[in-house]
Amino acid sequence: MRSFLITITRDPLGLAGAVLTSSAAILFAILYGIELVGIDGGGPYRGIITFLVIPAVFLLGLLLIPVGIWRERRRERRAQERGEAAPGFPVIDLNRSTTRKMVLIVAALTAVNLVILSLGTYKGLEVMDSTAFCGAACHSVMDPEYTTYHRSPHARVKCVECHIGPGADWFVKSKLSGSWQVVSVAFNLYPRPIPAPVHNLRPARDTCEECHWPEKFVGDRFKVNTHFEEDEANTEVKTVLVLKVGGLQEGRSHGIHWHVDPDHVVRYRADEKRQTIYEVEMTDAEGQVTRWSGPESESAEAAAAAWRTMDCVDCHNRPTHIYRLPGEELDAALLEGRIDSSLPFIRREAQKALEVEYPSHEAAREGIAAAIAGFYEAEYPDIARGRAEAVAAAAKATGDIYAWNVFPEMNITWGTYASHIGHPDMSTEVGCFRCHGGDHETADGETIAIDCGTCHSLLAEREENPEILQTLLD
Ligand code: HEC
Ligand code: HEC
Ligand code: HEC
Ligand code: HEC
Ligand code: HEC
């Protein structure tokens, strides 16, 4: 033992190795102890430090030690060849007061070092866990996700709560791919746009369900969607529906959230983008299996596609990176008064200006402002002069809409990231009608529910003064 210590500590490399290894061991013991005791904080990145960085340092130290031993042996051999005695252990004589002071100082410095290292590590974790780190560190790449996130109901939920989630094992997966992401950003190798869906996203069970859970009964949701027509008056119309969101009630599930009842499993096979669904399979509580096949179920692509069990993100694929279409955005801006609905034809003109392709956000703001101002100068000179402020405000709001949803640098334009909630334009390529469009059948020719009443009762559709609202509000 004695000679071992002499050998490893007399060579500077060996000494450095011994210091690294023992400090890493102590730090590891502390962090692991914290984890065992169950103290939270530090988030998923604590795992990276505890289980990746520190062991790496430990290993580096361990590798340095034999190098030190080898160098020390060589030195001893040379010394013996020269006929000198092998050097001994440094004598620490605690009877001498200077030595006692030295030992105390070294001990105190070591303690301070440990405190600094621990605190530094802890703070480092907090920083890496923050939304700003994820969203802004690689600015132009994450700009679209960051922008849409800030406008969503999840703006206060940290990126890592959906993208990594709790526990020590997912950090490895996400950080191994994260390291590749850093490389691809540095060398400009990343795809534009970033592909969706995210195939290695952690299952919703471990992320979404930390905060929402399928057993929570939601019931029917009464919705009033306000739209504006493209006529001169921008006529305000309303669609009123009761959405049967459902959930578990008295142990039985029904309605839209029936798909995620833990009692049964709905699986499907689809293309990479999850747009064309080849086959759907349902296994009920008794273990009975029903299978529906779509028009392309016999194709080679279908045979190669893996099964995926439906979870929250198969419908809520855009819970926080919500990209809206020009129409939805303009309806919201008119409703909220960011665009003055008394400006004639503003709904139609703003829509037209948004559908033009611009090379950058700045160019878009300029182009949109010029188009809208130009329209009023040509068609309504009185308004262009008398209400210049309202026209400018409408142009600004329209420019904002463009900047929130279109990111030319990342090749993201209208509809690049479509939402699967609902059925835009009755399309069978996005949304519920990928399965509920009537073209998936069992062997007996049964389709997946297609009746409009399965999902909602439509009480009014684009009506100016829906009777149902008058009844309710009187
Ligand atoms: C409420 C949960 C949630 C939060 C919070 C969240 N994300 Fe996401 N994110 C998702 C889901 C779900 C997808 C997968 C979409 C899909 O598969 O179609 C996704 C996809 C992505 C993608 C792939 C591109 C895309 O838009 O599909 C990136 C990049 C991304 N998120 C980055 C971030 C960043 C950066 C933050 C924090 C500023 C963040 N996310 C916060 C749920 C979340
Ligand atoms: C850390 C907690 C947390 C996590 C994780 C989380 N959410 Fe949420 N979610 C919230 C909060 C808070 C709200 C806002 C509630 C409100 O505004 O009333 C919300 C709202 C929602 C809404 C309602 C939005 C609306 O327009 O009313 C949906 C849908 C939703 N979340 C789905 C998801 C999905 C899907 C995931 C997983 C990808 C997820 N959430 C992950 C906390 C969370
Ligand atoms: C089959 C598609 C589908 C699946 C799967 C699904 N949802 Fe939903 N969910 C919806 C629809 C549709 C709505 C109503 C949206 C609206 O109001 O516009 C909704 C509404 C919600 C809301 C808002 C409810 C409220 O309080 O008004 C939350 C939260 C939510 N879902 C969470 C989840 C979570 C968590 C999961 C996974 C366990 C999940 N959903 C699975 C389709 C789905
Ligand atoms: C991956 C395929 C798939 C997708 C996508 C899908 N569903 Fe379904 N859905 C099914 C299957 C399978 C059934 C069960 C068979 C049936 O009821 O015809 C079902 C049943 C339902 C039911 C009846 C549940 C009950 O009470 O028995 C509702 C409501 C429903 N879906 C709503 C939706 C809505 C809303 C969306 C879009 C937000 C959606 N589904 C998306 C496959 C899907
Ligand atoms: C599989 C479930 C499902 C079926 C079947 C279905 N819808 Fe829907 N529908 C939805 C969902 C989900 C929404 C989104 C509601 C929201 O969030 O505003 C929606 C929205 C709508 C809207 C409102 C659009 C808006 O912009 O305000 C209309 C209109 C509509 N559906 C008509 C129909 C008609 C007509 C049928 C029958 C041919 C039908 N739907 C069948 C799920 C369904």
| pLDDT tens sequence across 7-19 | 667 888 888 988 8
Q: Return the ligand 4 atom nearest residue 448 CA.
A: 18
Q: How far apart are CA 455 and CA 36, in angstroms?
A: 47
DSSP of 351-397, one letter per residue? HHHHTS--SSHHHHHHHHHHHHHHHHHHH-HHHHHHTHHHHHHHHHH
Q: Which backbone phi and psi does 225 adopt, to 5 degrees?
A: -100, 120
Amino acid of residue 467 = E
Three-class SS state of 268: strand
> What is the rounded average pLDDT for all residues in the chain?
86
- Cross-strand bridge partners of residue 277: 270
- In the structure, which protein residues have their CB atom closer than 6 angstroms to any atom of ligand 4? 244, 254-256, 258-259, 266, 268, 277, 280, 282, 310, 314-315, 421, 431-432, 434-436, 448-449, 454-455
More confident call, 190 vs 429? 429
Length in residues, the chain: 474
205 near 311, Cβ under 8 Å? yes
Q: How far apart are CA 430 and CA 325, in angstroms?
A: 14
Amino acid of residue 97 = S
257 near 290, Cβ under 8 Å? no
DSSP of 365-378, one letter per residue? HHHHHHHHHHHHHH
- In the structure, which protein residues have their CB atom closer than 6 angstroms to any atom of ligand 5? 223, 225, 239, 241, 243, 421-423, 432, 436, 450, 452, 454-456, 458, 461
Q: How far apart are CA 332 and CA 19, in angstroms?
A: 62
Q: At what angle do helices 54-81 and 2-10 cross, to 10 degrees?
A: 100
- Cα 261 to ligand 4 centre (Å): 12
- In short, whether 259's Cβ falls inside 6 Å of ligand 3 is yes
pLDDT by residue (tens digit) across 60-106?
Answer: 988 898 898 888 888 888 988 888 776 666 577 888 888 788 778 77
- In the structure, which protein residues have their CB atom closer than 6 angstroms to any atom of ligand 1? 131, 134-135, 142, 145-146, 149, 154, 157, 159, 161-163, 194, 196-198, 201, 313, 317, 319-321, 417
Residue 216 — very low, low, confident or very high, per pLDDT cuts 50/70/90? Answer: confident
Least confident of 213-217, 227-231, 304-308: 213-217
Residue 461: its pLDDT value, please? 96
Antiparallel, parallel or unpaired: β 456-463 and 236-249: antiparallel
**DSSP element (H, E) containing 6:** helix 2-10
Strand residues in 100-168 grouped as ranges (E): none
pLDDT at 168 over 60: no
Asked if residue 90 has a cis previous peptide bond (ω within 30° of 0), the answer is no
446 near 438, Cβ under 8 Å? no
Q: DSSP state, 225?
A: E
Q: Return the ligand 2 atom nearest residue 210 CA.
A: 5
pLDDT by residue (tens digit) across 65-75?
Answer: 889 888 888 88
Q: How far apart are CA 420 and CA 310, in angstroms?
A: 13
**Ligand with smallest separation from the Cα of 150:** 1
